[in-house]
């Protein structure tokens, strides 16, 4: 089973775009805080959403908004501008729930 549930804050740099076929795609990072035995830490997790969900995030998403997402992990490879093979693991978002109201985003 490949299922991911995360709660965190949207990055301020949402990348909303459309493919050559007109498909909406929104890439963003989700900032997730967690505690270890020693301190509180933060991870920035790369995420991508497609179609109507991408448009919903692009329209309602502003940096700092708290969200809960459900999706799956996906790893892809590509050739970078430097000619080197790159590998990226990201969450392909299937569902999102905004946990705060627009304009009430808070950092972290």
Looking at the 3D structure of the chain, how many domains does it have? 1
Q: What is the CATH number of the domain that holds 72?
A: 2.40.50.140
Residue 86 inside a domain? The answer is: yes
Residue 43 inside a domain? The answer is: yes
pLDDT in tens, 36-50: 889 999 999 999 999
Residue appearing with tokens 């995360």? 6
> pTM of the full predicted structure?
0.83
Residue 39 inside a domain? The answer is: yes
Residue 65 inside a domain? The answer is: yes
Backbone angles phi, psi at 72, to 5 degrees: -140, 155
> Mean pLDDT across the chain, nearest whole number?
90
Q: Give me the domain span that covers residue 67.
A: 4-98
User: Any residues with CB less than 8 A from the CB of 39 and at least 6 apart, and which?
Assistant: none
The β-bridge partners of 67 are 8, 98
Tell me, what's the pLDDT at 104? 55
> What is the rounded distance in angstroms from the CA atom of residue 59 to the CA atom of residue 80?
30
Residue 104 inside a domain? The answer is: no
pLDDT in tens, 11-62: 888 999 999 999 999 999 999 998 888 999 999 999 999 999 999 998 887 7
Residue 14 inside a domain? The answer is: yes
């Amino acid at each position: 089973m490949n299922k991911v549930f995360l709660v965190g804050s949207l990055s301020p740099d949402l990348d909303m775009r459309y493919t050559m076929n007109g498909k909406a795609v929104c890439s963003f990072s989700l900032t997730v805080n967690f505690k270890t035995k020693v301190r509180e830490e933060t991870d920035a997790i790369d995420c991508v959403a497609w179609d109507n969900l991408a448009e919903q995030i692009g329209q309602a998403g502003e940096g700092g908004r708290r969200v809960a997402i459900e999706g799956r992990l996906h790893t892809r490879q590509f050739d970078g501008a430097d000619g080197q093979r790159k590998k990226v693991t990201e969450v392909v978002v299937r569902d999102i729930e905004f946990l705060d109201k627009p304009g009430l985003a808070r950092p972290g």
